[in-house]
Structure 1
């Protein structure tokens, strides 16, 4: 299966980098064809320009400035997102990716004023993430990243597609053994993806 891995973290020595490595390693071990998109390393520009916003609904011209990323998304059969949660949201570069690449005519179509999913070729979605706070604290604010993945992204892909959300909560207090267990759990999940 062709898997697009979206990775968003600026520090190559971070725990997120270890998770990213483990994800790619596990998927490769399972025999998948990996398109590894490291948004920071590739210098992805997350800023939606004035012109892009004005032409947002002009299909297919709306994809001109991000054509290579659109092509990669459209070629994927599965999507794995590896990114931390900062301030109860994704890193800005990942949010910018969604704003600039998940366009009308790419991730959804408008029919009679209704949004219709357009990424139905994506059969699996998985998110690997860390939260600085506890699960309880995250629940108090509604866990926006989980809702984005479980409600919004799932609504844009194939109905009934497999979905997994792997989260390590309390990262600020996580000791080495708990981080290692999470890495192992993520690695096993990717080997059976």
Structure 2
């Protein structure tokens, strides 16, 4: 059975981003496992954690708990990331999560020429976001995830679904969300 990893970076209980991500998840086949980043309570990688992690990588002990996120990410067939649009990017918990995911020997390795080579199984990452105002071409969060996917993880396809201008006075919120949901229905097979 296909494995779908749902990375939930939505802090609000009734998140519009999560609502759209659910549309993507409904279109995908497979067993869904969720990582709710606001429930995980991950710490940023400080000197002590980095030292421990480096020792484990050197000994190739990838079964240690610190690598659980990277192992799950590498094993997923499809990945759905739900992240509201904050400060031109995404909530900081997603950045911390990606630090835990980007592990030499699990999600990527270096070739003898020093070039990163992806080790992830996923064929696609679906990046879902919503914004109160306009996103335009300033979606640095999506750009960051897409760069990691192509440079390190080896995931060939990264799709972005967004609903923007949701908090603009007079906005047709239901219409904007419906248009985004229709885009998901047409693009996700």
Q: TM-score if structure 2 supplies the norm length?
A: 0.80
C-alpha distance in 1, partners of 2:113/2:49?
A: 21
* Cα-to-partner distance string for 1:72-117 (whole Å, 9 max, x where unaligned): 1132122121111201122111111011222222222234572422
1:36-55 mapped onto 2 (5 Å cutoff): 36-41=34-39, 43-55=40-52
CA 1:56–1:110: 2 relative to 1, 3 Å: farther
Q: What is the match of residue 169 of structure 1?
A: 164
- Which residues of structure 2 form unaligned runs of 5+? none
CA RMSD between the two structures: 2.5
C-alpha distance in 2, partners of 1:155/1:132?
A: 30
C-alpha distance in 1, partners of 2:52/2:112?
A: 20
C-alpha distance in 2, partners of 1:150/1:20?
A: 17
C-alpha contact (below 8 Å) 1:166/1:186 kept by paired residues: yes
- Equivalences, count: 182
1:61-80 mapped onto 2 (5 Å cutoff): 61=61, 64-80=64-80
TM-superposed CA distance for 1:70, in Å, is 2.6
